[in-house]
Amino acid sequence: MNAMSRHPEPTIFERIVAREIPADVVFESDRVIAIRDINPQAPVHLLVIPKTAIYRNITELGAGDPALLAEVVAVAGQLAEEHTGGEYRLVFNQGERAGQTVFHVHAHVLGSAPGTEGLAEGTLGNL
């Protein structure tokens, strides 16, 4: 299956990668872009996004290109070092019932600036 058959409509992240719509870009390399989330759930909320649109979720990315998944994790760690002092939460939502809304794999980097209040415990799910 090719990218066209998977994504008849480009996702919002594909359009951000193509610079068709604006975003607050905090990092970019050949294969990865990172932006600030437009609807932050924490004082620091970044999204680390592989530029390719062929992987819808982390399972597909891990199976299809483990080196790219490792790069996403490394970029997340590097950005977290800069923005949170290195203490952070890394979240991949997979599937609608887990809260995924954009079907172009991306990592959420959640945290707060050093010296400020940290993330609450027990807020990862709804129980």
Catalytic residues: 106
The amino acid that residue 100 corresponds to is Q
Cβ atoms 46, 109 nearer than 8 A: yes
Residue 53 per-residue DSSP state? S
Nearer residue to ligand AMP within complex by CB, 40 or 64: 40
User: In a 3-state reduction of DSSP, which class is residue 75?
Assistant: helix
Nearer residue to ligand AMP within complex by CB, 40 or 114: 40
Residues 10-39 that bind ligand AMP (CB under 6 A): 12, 23, 35, 37-39
Residue 121, both tokens:
């415990």
94's CB contacts (< 8 A; 6+ apart) are: 57, 58, 59, 100
Among 43, 54, 100, 118, binds ligand AMP (CB under 6 A): 100
- The minimum distance between CB 111 and ligand AMP, in angstroms, equals 15
Residues at the contact surface with ligand AMP, assessed by CB under 6 A = 12, 23, 35, 37-39, 47, 93, 99-102
